[in-house]
Amino acid sequence: MYKRVYLAGDNHSCWQQELQSQARKARLAISFRCSYKQVESDSIAMEAGSAMAGARRVEALNDALLSRAELIIVRFSEDSDHRSNLVAVAQAIVRGKSVMVLYDNEMADKFSSIPRVATAVAGDLAQLLSLLDIWSTTNKATDNN
């Protein structure tokens, strides 16, 4: 049985693909789902209503993925949208989800309150994989996706 993990934050780097690849190599029984961003259109003819409808669909998809996940992992980086990441952390906490946070030690001062509410904090992918290994073996899986 696989456990559902939702990956939030920083879609502009390869951390999500790297984490998934290393988790497969470690044979962790985890099914990862990534947050989606709205694709911006280069078309001048795109209407505001169409853009708003697209944003609502993306938000509904992310909300569904987050709702079904057993664990939320949020990565904070210098390039990420920190407000969106903080919203993802808050949504997870409100729903009673476990939250793991990944950020470099240099960013610890900016997010000093996050470790107080997170299940765990990792400074790199190796630490995160170790935490996921422990988490996946100590919690029962609920789905097979």
Q: How far is CA 50 from CA 37, 59, 89, in A?
A: 15, 14, 28
Q: Is the pTM of this model over 0.85?
A: no
Residue-wise pLDDT tens digits, 80-110: 667 878 888 888 888 999 999 888 777 767 7
Q: How confident is the model at residue 38 (pLDDT cuts 50, 70, 90)?
A: very low
Which of 129, 135, 136, 139 has the alpha carbon at shortest distance from 19?
129
Which of 79, 86, 98 has the alpha carbon at shortest distance from 139?
98
CB atoms near residue 20 (< 10 Å):
17
On the question of pLDDT at 5 being above 90, the answer is: yes
Domains of the chain: 3-37+48-138 (3.40.50.450)
What pLDDT, on a 0 to 100 scale, did the predictor assign at position 23? 94
Mean pLDDT is lowest, of 45-54, 64-73, 96-105, 134-143, for 45-54
On the question of pLDDT at 44 being above 50, the answer is: no
What pLDDT, on a 0 to 100 scale, did the predictor assign at position 144? 42
Residue-wise pLDDT tens digits, 45-56: 456 567 667 777
